[in-house]
């Protein structure tokens, strides 16, 4: 005689045990309508007693939503991005949304693969730090053609009509360079990020703006295009300090390049700020503990992530159509890595 297989409990079983209708159970589980607290408690007790687990996939297919958001960041080793992720994750948790996190490593092919994977997983929306402007624009067509909302965070793509949230790259760099100028520096080097990214060219724009307003001539020898990675800062300092008239101060366009620059400066036996003043864009938790503590431009990483989700939800839940661009303020944190020019 064959044993009868144990069947998984259904919503109908929950309704029967709780003494309510199936629709009431559905409203309690999906939070789609107000249900009296006493009735909700009956449903929750029945769910716990039976060990009922909702069929999320079937429910998602019926409602054409998955309550899942995709997030693609460009470099997980940069501790700026985990703070962005935390901002996204914390906000999603309030609304019982799930997050699929992907790391592109600034690699457009890897990024393309993740875009396709997230599309196939039917995510309700996508938040992305684009790696390359032109290639990423084409790869995002998958989402745009299906009207699945996309929000760009930290970087934007010119001409792409998607929501975007950025830090004030121009203003933050402008403030930092002006601070160096106030200390008497005129030979100010900059290690930029890739100039085909918003964070790369906008921070260079802030550099130019400060020099121009102070009547300091631009010198291309003082500009090194880096890669937002540690080796970019290391190589950048090496190049800048080997020109015939080297800088007395250097601005690095992100925290990882600041680390690379510091490594090279130490190897050369130079002292900060005695031999060279240094400022970084991106203030990190460990910067105050460097010797000397590093002056840096703070940008609100957590708020960037949180704001990106808010923009996405305005599309998903309120049906907003008009594009929004949000620029969050930065702040110069002055420590001890810069000194007046001798």
CATH number at residue 320: 3.40.50.2300
pLDDT tens digits, one per residue of 214-227:
999 999 999 999 99
Beta strand ranges found along the chain (DSSP E): 68-73, 98-103, 125-128, 150-153, 163-167, 188-192, 223-225, 249-252, 277-281, 295-298, 325-328, 331-333
pLDDT tens digits, one per residue of 51-106:
888 765 555 555 567 899 999 999 998 989 999 999 999 999 998 899 999 999 98
* Average pLDDT taken over every residue of the chain: 91
Task: Give yes or no: residues 175 and 246 share one domain.
Answer: yes
238 alpha carbon, distance to own chain's centre: 29
Taking 60 as the threshold, does the pLDDT of residue 42 lie above it?
Answer: yes
How many whole angstroms separate alpha carbon 183 and alpha carbon 339?
7
Q: Which pLDDT score is estimated for 99? A: 96
Q: Pick the range with the lowest mean pLDDT from 22-26, 147-151, 163-167, 333-337.
A: 22-26
Task: Give yes or no: residues 306 and 244 share one domain.
Answer: no
Task: Give yes or no: residues 88 and 193 share one domain.
Answer: no
Q: Is 313 within a domain? A: yes
Full residue range of the structural domain in which residue 29 is found: 11-54
Taking 70 as the threshold, does the pLDDT of residue 186 lie above it?
Answer: yes
Distances from the Cα of 327 to the Cα of 152, 241, 316, angstroms = 12, 34, 21
Q: Which pLDDT score is estimated for 4? A: 44
Residues 6+ apart with CB under 8 A from 59: 30
Task: Give yes or no: residues 108 and 215 share one domain.
Answer: no
Half-sphere exposure of 267 (CA within 13 A, CB side): 11
Taking 90 as the threshold, does the pLDDT of residue 213 lie above it?
Answer: yes
Number of helical (H) and strand (E) elements in the chain, helices listed first: 13, 12
Hey, is 267 helix, strand or coil? helix
Task: Give yes or no: residues 279 and 189 share one domain.
Answer: yes
Task: Give yes or no: residues 200 and 111 share one domain.
Answer: no
């Amino acid at each position: 005689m064959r044993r009868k297989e144990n069947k998984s409990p259904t919503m109908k079983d929950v309704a029967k045990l709780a003494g309510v209708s199936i629709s009431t159970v559905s409203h309690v589980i999906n939070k789609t309508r107000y249900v009296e607290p006493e009735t909700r408690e009956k449903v929750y007790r029945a769910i716990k007693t039976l060990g009922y687990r909702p069929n999320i996939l079937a429910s998602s297919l019926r409602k054409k939503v998955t309550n899942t958001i995709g997030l693609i960041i460009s470099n997980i080793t940069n501790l700026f991005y985990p703070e962005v992720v935390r901002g996204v994750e914390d906000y999603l948790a309030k609304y019982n949304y799930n997050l699929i996190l992907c790391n592109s490593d600034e690699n457009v092919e890897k990024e393309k693969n993740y875009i396709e994977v997230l599309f196939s997983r039917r995510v309700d929306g996508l938040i992305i730090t684009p790696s390359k402007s032109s290639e990423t624009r084409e790869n995002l067509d998958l989402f745009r053609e299906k009207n699945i909302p996309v929000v760009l965070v930290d970087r934007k793509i010119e001409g792409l009509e998607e929501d975007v949230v950025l830090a004030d790259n121009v203003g933050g760099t402008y403030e930092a360079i002006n601070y160096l100028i106030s200390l008497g520096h005129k030979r100010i080097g900059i290690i930029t990020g890739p100039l085909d990214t918003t964070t790369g060219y906008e921070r260079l724009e802030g550099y130019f703006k400060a020099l121009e307003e102070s009547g300091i001539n631009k010198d291309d020898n003082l500009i090194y295009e880096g890669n937002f990675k540690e080796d970019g800062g290391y190589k950048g300092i090496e190049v800048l300090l080997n020109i015939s008239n080297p800088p007395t101060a250097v601005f690095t366009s992100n925290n990882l390049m600041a680390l690379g620059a510091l490594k090279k400066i130490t190897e050369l036996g130079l002292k900060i700020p005695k031999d060279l003043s240094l400022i970084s864009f991106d203030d990190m938790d460990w910067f105050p503990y460097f010797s000397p503590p590093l002056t840096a431009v703070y940008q609100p990483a957590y708020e960037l992530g949180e704001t990106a989700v808010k923009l996405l939800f305005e599309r998903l839940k309120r049906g907003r159509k008009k594009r929004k661009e949000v620029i969050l303020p930065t702040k110069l944190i002055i420590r001890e890595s810069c000194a007046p020019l001798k």
